[in-house]
């Protein structure tokens, strides 16, 4: 190897504009995009997402796929096993199980969705107020939450449904009465932690209003845990609805949810097992997928959780 | 001396910890800052520097005392007056990784100040102003669309400075703006702050624990101990002739960039830990660690007196 000698003229001062060293080369990626990239790598979570989308799609379109509907009785064709006419068979009144199953899936998903939305709205607002203002306000609201939480929620739900007419609205209302508390606590914890971050102080020194700080700084940064809690709320609401329907407190015939279908099928489970099979598989699959997807979402939104 | 821009009178901030415990983070501060001046505040961790800065910024409501900005008490301001104060006084934060919202682009971080005070009429004007601000702090204006996590500590700190400058402030509280940065980057940021001061006539309160950096940037320096200012003087005076034993101990910890002198440097090592600000010592707060403490110090609180021209210290033996 020959040694090189450097001459002074080889050194020239770089102009400011030529300072390439400071330029960031990587494409700009937001935190959401980053989370999406991580989520895509999680095969199981993506599979769950696809399954959930397919279930949703079928719940919407199944009514156009076969010539039957969910409520017409056909007493000549009761309790048929699955065949080319009635894909999932028929029930004790000869109603098409394919239609009824997907309708039930739709109603179950709707219950889960609405319950989650109510939880989101109430939980974020009340949790946000508790976390942001703290002190006396927090103490009063927190005690209130604790009292609500200490009432056995299923008992409360059953009581409410007995008093009011059983319908989807009643079920969602009943589930939301205690459901939002968890979300409120999650948001409260997040806001308490975030409100002392320096970027929130910076927003305050700029003179930003409380609502601006809430919706521009606190909520977006608490979105990860909020979304994860939501994906966990949906399956638990579906489960609760199925449970209530199973007790006969769910949506009323001729409409059906997956829970009522299973309840109906129970009476003749040993003779016509397929009537239970399809709704049961569907409800299990939905809950499983929501749980796996929620898990994957949590890992994707919070890279620190994953090792 | 010209009329002070900022006057701090008997400012105290106590935190109630419950169980009848009161943390006296800032305890009766008195000083003023003239227009265009830089006052440095030094002291060890937990001495109340940051709390003092945040209370002066009105991020905390004070327990006692007042801060006058152009002669007006900032704690009595409301509505439009308070909004104007939020433009006049700005803050640069310590941790460049926590002071920028990770979910917002640089454009929105700097633009937020413009939005709140309606300083930009259109989106185009807003974009132009943000780009100008980025260039002002020596950052490429193309960075506006990026997110904070894509920048280094020094770059983030400069974004924080750009955000503070967006509202055209007169007075900036810099709360340890360089202590989280590499030494090589510290000089960059300090030089930038000095340049901006020269060009825009800014007034600074510079909080730090790096004594040599504070000497470099400040006209006057205040030394804080347990929530009180123990010595306040022009920086040369303070560094050449420290009067308070605590200041002397701090000064003796500065390494000297000359091997021969450095070898002879005598360090005054303070015994014991910083007393808890919940249970303040009686008399002079420093007597528990002071090498010169006498019986008098345990009983009498020393007054904050002018020991020399414009040189104040609170020590019985200054």
3-class SS of residue A76: helix
Q: What percent of chain A has pLDDT over 70?
A: 92
Name chain A contacts of B147, Cβ cutoff 8 Å.
Answer: 28-31
The kind and range of the H/E element at B160 are helix B153-165
Select from A134, A205, A219 the residue whose CB has the most chain B CBs within 10 Å, as the one to mutate to test that interface. A205
Most confident stretch, A129-133, A240-244, B14-18, B313-317: A129-133
The residues, any chain, with a CB within 8 Å of residue B17's CB and separated by 6 or more, are B23, B278
- Kindly report the nearest CA distance between residue B69 and chain A, in angstroms: 15
What is the rounded average pLDDT for all residues in chain B?
90
Q: May I ask the CATH architecture of the domain A47-68+96-301?
A: Orthogonal Bundle (1.10)
CB contact (8 A) between residue B146 and residue A31? no
End-to-end C-alpha distance for chain B, whole angstroms? 25
Name chain B contacts of A206, Cβ cutoff 8 Å.
Answer: 86, 90, 112-113, 116-117, 163, 167
Count CA atoms within 13 Å of residue A135 on its CB side: 4
Beta strands across the sheet bearing B203-207: B89-92, B171-175, B203-207, B38-42, B220-225, B228-234, B311-313, B305-308
Q: What is the pLDDT of residues B129-141, one digit of tens each?
A: 999 999 999 888 8
Whole-structure pTM value: 0.80
Q: Is A205 on the interface with B (CB under 8 A)?
A: yes
Q: Is B119 on the interface with A (CB under 8 A)?
A: no
Q: What is the pLDDT of residues A73-85, one digit of tens each?
A: 888 888 888 888 8
pLDDT of amino acid A123: 94
Select from A34, A35, A199, A227 the residue whose CB has the most chain B CBs within 10 Å, as the one to mutate to test that interface. A199
CB contact (8 A) between residue B117 and residue A207? yes
Q: Nearest-CA neighbor of A256 among A56, A96, A100, A68?
A: A100
Higher pLDDT, A5 or A48: A48
A105, A113 Cβ separation under 8 angstroms: no
CB contact (8 A) between residue A220 and residue B103? yes
Tokens standing for residue B72 = 């007006």
pLDDT of amino acid A2: 57
Candidates A28, A197, A206; nearest CB to B147 = A28
The residues, any chain, with a CB within 8 Å of residue B59's CB and separated by 6 or more, are A201, A204, A205, B91
- Kindly report the nearest CA distance between residue B99 and chain A, in angstroms: 4
Tokens standing for residue B294 = 């006498």
Q: Which of A70-74, A98-102, B298-302, B307-311 has the lowest mean pLDDT?
A: A70-74
How confident is the model over B7-16, as a mean pLDDT?
Answer: 93
Name chain A contacts of B105, Cβ cutoff 8 Å.
Answer: 30
- State how far the Cα of A47 lies from the Cα of A188, in Å rounded to an integer: 32
Taking CA–CA distances from B105, the nearest residue in chain A reads A30
How confident is the model over B190-206, as a mean pLDDT?
Answer: 93
Q: What is the pLDDT of residues B247-305, one digit of tens each?
A: 998 888 888 888 888 888 888 888 778 888 888 888 898 988 888 888 888 888 888 88
3-class SS of residue A65: coil
- How many C-beta neighbours within 10 Å does residue B100 have? 26
How confident is the model over A154-173, as a mean pLDDT?
Answer: 85
- State how far the Cα of B318 lies from the Cα of B118, in Å rounded to an integer: 52
Q: Is B205 on the interface with A (CB under 8 A)?
A: no
Q: Is A215 on the interface with B (CB under 8 A)?
A: no
Q: Is B87 on the interface with A (CB under 8 A)?
A: yes
pLDDT of amino acid A281: 93
pLDDT of amino acid A304: 61
Length, in residues, of chain B: 318
What is the rounded average pLDDT for all residues in chain A?
86
Q: What is the pLDDT of residues B83-121, one digit of tens each?
A: 999 999 999 999 988 999 988 889 999 999 999 999 888
- Kindly report the nearest CA distance between residue A65 and chain B, in angstroms: 44
Taking CA–CA distances from B16, the nearest residue in chain A reads A135
pLDDT of amino acid B147: 86
Taking CA–CA distances from B152, the nearest residue in chain A reads A22
pLDDT of amino acid B2: 62
Is pLDDT at A245 greater than 90 in this prediction?
Answer: no
pLDDT of amino acid A307: 41
| pLDDT level of residue A96 (50, 70, 90 thresholds) | confident
Is pLDDT at A22 greater than 70 in this prediction?
Answer: no
- How many C-beta neighbours within 10 Å does residue A87 have? 17
Higher pLDDT, A1 or B214: B214
CB contact (8 A) between residue B167 and residue A206? yes
| pLDDT level of residue A55 (50, 70, 90 thresholds) | very high
How confident is the model over A132-154, as a mean pLDDT?
Answer: 90
Candidates A199, A205, A207; nearest CB to B101 = A199
Q: Is A221 on the interface with B (CB under 8 A)?
A: yes
- Kindly report the nearest CA distance between residue B199 and chain A, in angstroms: 20
- Kindly report the nearest CA distance between residue B174 and chain A, in angstroms: 12
């Amino acid at each position: 190897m020959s040694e090189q000698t450097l001459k002074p003229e080889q050194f020239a001062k770089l102009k400011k504009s030529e300072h390439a060293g400071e330029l960031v080369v990587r494409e700009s990626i937001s935190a959401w995009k980053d989370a999406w990239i991580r989520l895509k790598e999680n095969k199981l979570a993506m599979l769950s997402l696809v399954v959930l989308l397919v279930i949703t799609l079928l719940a919407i379109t199944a009514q156009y796929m076969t010539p039957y509907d969910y409520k017409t009785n056909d007493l000549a064709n009761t309790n048929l096993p699955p065949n080319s006419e009635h894909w999932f068979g028929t029930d004790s009144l000869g109603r098409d199980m394919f239609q009824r199953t997907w309708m039930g899936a739709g109603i179950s998903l709707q219950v889960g969705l609405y319950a989650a939305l109510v939880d989101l709205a109430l939980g974020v607002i009340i949790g946000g107020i508790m976390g942001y203002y703290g002190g006396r306000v927090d103490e009063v609201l927190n005690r209130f939450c604790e009292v609500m939480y200490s009432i056995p929620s299923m008992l409360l739900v059953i009581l409410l449904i007995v008093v009011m007419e059983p319908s989807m609205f009643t079920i969602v209302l009943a589930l939301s009465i205690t459901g939002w508390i968890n979300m409120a606590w999650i948001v409260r914890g997040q806001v308490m932690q975030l409100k002392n971050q320096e970027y929130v102080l910076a927003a305050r020194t700029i003179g930003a209003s409380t609502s601006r700080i809430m919706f521009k700084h606190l909520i977006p940064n608490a979105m990860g845990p909020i979304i994860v809690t939501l994906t966990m709320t949906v399956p638990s609401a579906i489960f609760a609805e199925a449970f209530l329907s199973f007790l006969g407190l769910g949506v009323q015939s001729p409409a059906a949810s997956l829970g009522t279908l299973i309840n109906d099928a129970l009476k003749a489970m040993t003779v016509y097992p397929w009537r239970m099979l399809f709704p049961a598989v569907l409800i299990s699959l939905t809950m499983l997928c929501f749980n796996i997807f929620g898990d994957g979402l949590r890992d994707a939104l919070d890279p620190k959780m994953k090792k | 001396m010209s009329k002070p821009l900022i006057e701090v009178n008997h400012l105290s901030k106590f935190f109630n910890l419950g169980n009848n415990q009161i943390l006296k983070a800032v305890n009766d501060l008195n000083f003023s800052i003239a227009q265009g001046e830089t006052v440095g505040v030094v002291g060890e961790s937990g001495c109340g520097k940051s709390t003092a800065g945040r209370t002066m910024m009105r991020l905390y409501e004070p327990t006692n005392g007042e801060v006058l900005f152009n002669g007006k008490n900032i704690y009595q301001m409301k509505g439009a007056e308070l909004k104007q104060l939020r433009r006049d006084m700005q803050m640069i934060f310590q941790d460049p990784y926590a002071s920028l919202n990770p979910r917002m682009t640089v454009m929105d971080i700097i633009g937020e100040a413009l939005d709140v005070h309606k300083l930009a009429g259109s989106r185009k004007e807003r974009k132009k102003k943000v780009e100008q601000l980025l260039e002002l702090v020596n950052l490429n204006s193309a960075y506006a669309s990026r997110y904070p996590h894509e920048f280094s500590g020094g770059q983030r700190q400069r974004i924080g400075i750009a955000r503070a400058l967006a509202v055209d402030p007169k007075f900036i509280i810099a709360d340890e703006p360089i202590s989280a940065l590499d030494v090589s980057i510290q000089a960059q940021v300090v030089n930038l702050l000095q340049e901006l001061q020269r060009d825009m006539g800014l007034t600074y309160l510079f909080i730090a624990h790096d004594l040599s950096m504070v000497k470099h940037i400040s006209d006057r320096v205040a030394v804080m101990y347990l929530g009180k200012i123990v010595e306040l003087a022009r920086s040369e005076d303070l560094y050449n002739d420290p009067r308070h034993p605590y200041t002397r101990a701090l000064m003796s910890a500065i390494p000297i960039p000359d091997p021969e002198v450095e070898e002879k440097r005598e360090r005054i090592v303070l015994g014991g830990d910083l007393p808890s600000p919940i249970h303040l010592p009686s008399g002079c707060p420093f007597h528990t660690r002071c090498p010169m403490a006498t019986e008098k110090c345990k009983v009498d609180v020393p007054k904050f007196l002018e020991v020399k021209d414009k040189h104040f210290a609170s020590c019985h033996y200054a």
